[in-house]
A and B are shown apart, each in its own frame.
Chain A
Amino acid sequence: MHIQSTSFRTWHRWLSLIVGLQMLIWAISGGYMVFFKLPFIHGVHLTQAADQPIQEASQQDQFLEVLKRYPEAHDVRWVNRFVQGRYQDLFQVHAGDEKFLVSPDSFTRLELTAADIRALAERYYKKGEPRITQVQLLRDQAPTELNPNHLPIWRVDFDDFGNTSLYLHRATGEMTVRRHDFWRGFDIMWMLHIMDYKDRTDITTWWLRAFILATFAFTFTGTILVLQTLRTSKRKPL
């Protein structure tokens, strides 16, 4: 009657040798991901809006002038942003793949400097006194934590708990990407969870599929074993 059961146990043990470690990794990485709230991981708590209300909102002619000067623009946004040491009304123009700021005085493109970015980053930062350690413009080398499609981009590093890094748009200074150590930990856990150790994006590798199938067999043999154990607690009161 139990002829099969020992072979299930053998299978269960050998499968555990293959998938056991990965199951533990899944449990640990899954545990990390469910434990820390997603908005926290995304760093929502790290930043705040830094634009101010538009000062001269009655000057619609300026807006039309921008349209005239940049006829290929498909999206124009009037904002009040801290640039060149003061808050000023600006136009953020989106034309083709390009996005840039235009001054309402000369209607020419504004180039942001590292000092502008530092000042903006201080205003976005929400976790208290901003202690900036580095402001750099990344041109063609993206760190693993940043999607290279964002390049070029400003990176601002902070000296705080979690080693916050804020990524600001190269030409507009918009808050684009937030990173801190809990996100970086999450990213490693995600890598372990999907078993793509290179790019951390591919969820369809053949080894992931193979491991899942093996886990399925592993769980199945385990199910049989536990059911058998339950059934053989046999003798009822007479």
Chain B
Amino acid sequence: MKFLQWLHRWTSLIILVQLLLWTISGLYFALVDHHGMKGHQYHQHAELEPLSVEAFAQMDASWWKDFTAITSLRGRKIEGIPQLVIEHAEGTSYLDGRTGAPWQTHQNLALAIANSTYSGPGAPLQVTPVTATRDLHGWQGNGFRIDYNDDLNTRVYVDRESGTVLDHRNTPWVVADWMFRLHFMDYTGGRSFNHVVIVSAGILTLWFALSGFILLAKLLSTGEMRINLRKASLKVHRAGQQHTLVGRQQQTVLQVLQQHRMPIESGCGGGGTCALCKVKASSSATITAAERDLLSASELQEGYRLACQHGLDKLSTVEIKALDVQRHELKLVGTRWLTPMLKELRFVSGQKPVAYQAGQYMQFLIPAATTKRRAEDIPEAFQSAWKYMPTGEMQHSAVRRSYSMASCEACVDGQHELIFTVRYQPPATGDCEPGIGATYLCSMQVGQSIEAEGPYGEFLRQVESPRELFLIGGGAGMAPLRAILQEELQDAGPRHVVYFYGARNRQELVYHEELLSLQRYGQVYYVPVLSEAQTQCQWDGAQGFVHEAALAYLAEHDWQRFDFYLCGPPRMLKATREMLAQLGVAKERIRFDDFGI
């Protein structure tokens, strides 16, 4: 079901615009009706004149003796003039019934013909010869366009060869024609609805509607959509306090919490896909399919549920975490470049200090601004790495970016500083601008302030666990791991910590000296691993991918001793999780911070 939901969402992205266009044009058709779309508002049938023997008296068989295989020879009158229409092997020929000469439609006759089919209030404005026009899709030949000065801008097209009216056109017709283009996805004006584009769109829409229908059927069958306007109450325990909220019975716990402004994380708007709106209910509460997918067995056992998955009639008491997700005004008080691309930023909160746990993160509210593409304070030693980076300024919109605190709250000197490491994001292939958040933060001046919201995050130490800590990190994943390490070492009886940290080369090892000195004191077993060690550098440490180095270590040690904490770029994280899964480490013992999308 989750997969179906995912597919439904992505299909919608492809088909959405066309769906809106179909709705709009469909509404137009339903409002205007056939009569409003044909261009025939001022159209009438020309009066039919009886043929007379006199008019055709000159008729002679020699006129058509050159045509072969005549299947139809027809006499009719056009504006009083007899005409012969002859269908023969080569097509259709029109003759003047008085002389047998090919039919001629001169300008004045065309005007009279047009007038005979016109019933509107206007008068003819002008007669223009035409050979092709957007008004008549697919028509080519010799003809006249007669314009009328009425409110609809009526024009009548008369064919020169046959002396007949091709059609009437006017402004409502043009509007309708565009609606047909939108509805049929045929922008040639041919009004075909059998071309490959609309057939594909049709198949996609069919699938889209079907998947939505299946989802709806599932919602109905599980009883998640019952009408019930009765009030119900929800008891919420938060930070030792109890709140009683009142909502309607069919509302979800999440809706009621949000309505009462009880801070709770939510990413997908109650869709049961992001797993952020975790609350503690009771272990006997029903478990939905989404929860089975997203929560671990032990979490379910402990009674954790997703607030979006249960109505007030199902859950009446929940415990939520006291999220102090306030906005803070953070003032930059110090910076330094740690590696060529990684900058350490130290902030202090303007009002009250931010209380957080190691592993948590803040969301920075990067404002819309014009920002220098490269910082002004890049040290001499790192300049070479910046040689090919873009210069100048860029304009960007406001974004939210999350950064983990790179130290534990208690380990920072001074006035409750918040330390972040920000990695400059060079323009990705095919992209011309560097990452907005990092560029903005790296170019901030000491003394400047920025708004941030938090703290958020669940990537926390398992304080109660008797096991040792095994940290595996890569690149900018250093930040939360360093905080966790620091926080552990602050404890009265710290557990032993193993820390495998991967970087590309020697220069990118962040906080290297600091970790080496901790290692010297025996508090941590620190293994830096380089994936692209340069030959000219002296490096006798581990090489290769960090998860491989960790695996080599775990193969020789009892991995049952450890809880695992992972943080790093998406690919490294994926490889490491697969490695641990193969090793047989239970999901509950692995915590990770995924900062990829």
Contacts and interface: CB of A to CB of B under 8 A. Distances in A.
Given A74-B77, A225-B269, A34 B595 contact: no
Contacts, number: 229
Interface in B51-86: 51-53, 56-57, 59-61, 64-65, 68-77
A135 B29 CA distance: 39
Given A23-B209, A74-B50, A238-B422, A16 B72 contact: no
A176 interface: no
B69 A31 contact: no
Q: Majority SS of interface residues in chain B?
A: mixed
B221 to A, nearest CB: 13
Interface stretch (B9-17, B538-546, B574-582): B9-17
A212 interface: yes
Contacts of B48: 74-75
Contact of A31 (B206, B261, B270): B206
B269 A229 contact: yes
A232 interface: yes
Given A6-B269, A6-B270, A52-B71, A35 B202 contact: yes
B494 interface: no
A203 B259 contact: no
Interface in A191-229: 203-205, 208-209, 212-213, 215-216, 219, 222-223, 225-226, 228-229
Interface stretch (A58-66, A123-131, A145-153): A58-66
A9 B16 contact: no
Q: How large is the interface on B (under 10, 10 to 19, 20 to 34, 35 or more residues)?
A: 35 or more
A39 to B, nearest CB: 9
State the majority secondary structure of interface residues on A: helix
B212 A20 contact: yes
B212 A23 contact: yes
Q: Which of B26, B403, B594 gathers the greatest number of chain A CB atoms within 10 Å?
A: B26
Contacts of A14: 225
Interface in B173-228: 192-194, 198-199, 202-203, 205-206, 208-210, 212-213, 216, 219-220, 225
Interface string B18-29: 011001101101
Contacts of B76: 74-76
Contact of B53 (A7, A67, A212, A236): A67
Given A24-B213, A226-B12, A232-B268, A54 B258 contact: no
Interface of A: 2-3, 5-10, 13-14, 16-17, 20-21, 23-24, 26-28, 30-31, 33-38, 49, 51-54, 57-60, 63-64, 67-68, 71-80, 95, 203-205, 208-209, 212-213, 215-216, 219, 222-223, 225-226, 228-230, 232-238
21 contacts: A5-B270, A6-B269, A20-B209, A20-B213, A23-B209, A28-B206, A30-B205, A34-B202, A38-B193, A53-B68, A57-B70, A64-B57, A67-B75, A73-B51, A76-B51, A77-B74, A203-B30, A209-B27, A212-B27, A228-B268, A238-B595
